[in-house]
Amino acid sequence: MPDVPEGAARGEARVTRLSGTPRRTLKLTISYDGTRFVGWQRQAAGVSIQGLLEDALAHFEGAPVSVHGAGRTDAGVHALAQVATVQMTCAHPHEAIARGLNARLPADVRVIDIQDVAADFHARFSARSKTYRYQLRTSPIVSPFERAYVWHVPVALDIDAMQVASQALVGTHDFAAFQSAGSDVTGTVRTITRSVIAERAVSGWQDSVMPLLAYEVCGTGFLRHMVRAIVGTLVEVGRGQRQAASIAALLAGGSRSQAGATAPPQGLFLVRVVYD
């Protein structure tokens, strides 16, 4: 393994290539605040997480690279541990690459881990499950310091009814009613293995204790805006605007128009991606 260039910690590493060996596949774990980004996927306009990573990694590779993410988080959605893969010939050790990337990336995007993986490993297609968390504040006032990380619903919600409704989602179902309108995905059947909503008392603004409602869902795959559509529907249950039993009816053949509104993006976090 070559020595780490003196400037690597400042993102000034010279490109060192692996000679006579196949390209290496790197698995990157990334944490980011999605507030100011257009989402994970590179787009024609706006700053994306994928675009930032590809530009930073191209410095090490000395050529353009393609980064593949485990999930395409939308604009305003955050990630505690997004996973991405990239194939490179750069021979620097993981620590040097991580330091160099974090020196080039903005402070609201951090590479927290890098590993070499098998050549056929793919961040998206090798994933076995993903876990998302959605956070809501039900207090009369939301702190200005967390407004980008919660949906502020300033009313009392029936958490017991919401939990009953959330349990109906567990299993293999057709989630067409919770898919964003206009999506081009042909198959809408997905498997949910865990669906839990609970209130937690946490320290809030000005040392007060404020109710934080967190919905956590784990599944083998998710449709576009699926989690946010589920949360919007659960909130309607909590507000008494629909019955908990309506979830089962939606899964049995309901349309998107019959489910609840799509919750705003800022409360959503990609928590973890699990692989074999």
Which segment of 12-16, 149-153, 235-239, 255-259 scores lowest on mean pLDDT?
Answer: 12-16
Which pair of structure tokens corresponds to residue 269?
């976090």
Catalytic residues: 74
What's the CATH number of domain 8-117, 3.40.50.300, 3.30.70.580, 3.40.190.10, 3.40.50.1240? 3.30.70.580
Residues comprising the chain, all counted: 276
Q: What integer pLDDT is reported at residue 180 of this predicted model?
A: 87
- The per-residue pLDDT for range 71-83, each reduced to its tens digit, is 999 999 999 999 9
- The per-residue pLDDT for range 28-55, each reduced to its tens digit, is 999 999 999 999 999 999 999 999 999 9
In the DSSP assignment, the letter for residue 73 is P
136, 150, 161, 203, 204 from 212: Cα distances, Å: 6, 9, 17, 9, 9
Predicted structure pTM score: 0.88
Q: What integer pLDDT is reported at residue 23 of this predicted model?
A: 85
**Domain at 128-275: CATH code:** 3.30.70.660
- The per-residue pLDDT for range 222-252, each reduced to its tens digit, is 999 999 999 999 999 999 999 999 999 999 9
Q: In which residue ranges of the chain is CATH 3.30.70.580 found?
A: 8-117
Q: In which residue ranges of the chain is CATH 3.30.70.660 found?
A: 128-275
Nearest CA to 267 among 222, 224, 205, 215? 215
Which pair of structure tokens corresponds to residue 110?
């951090």
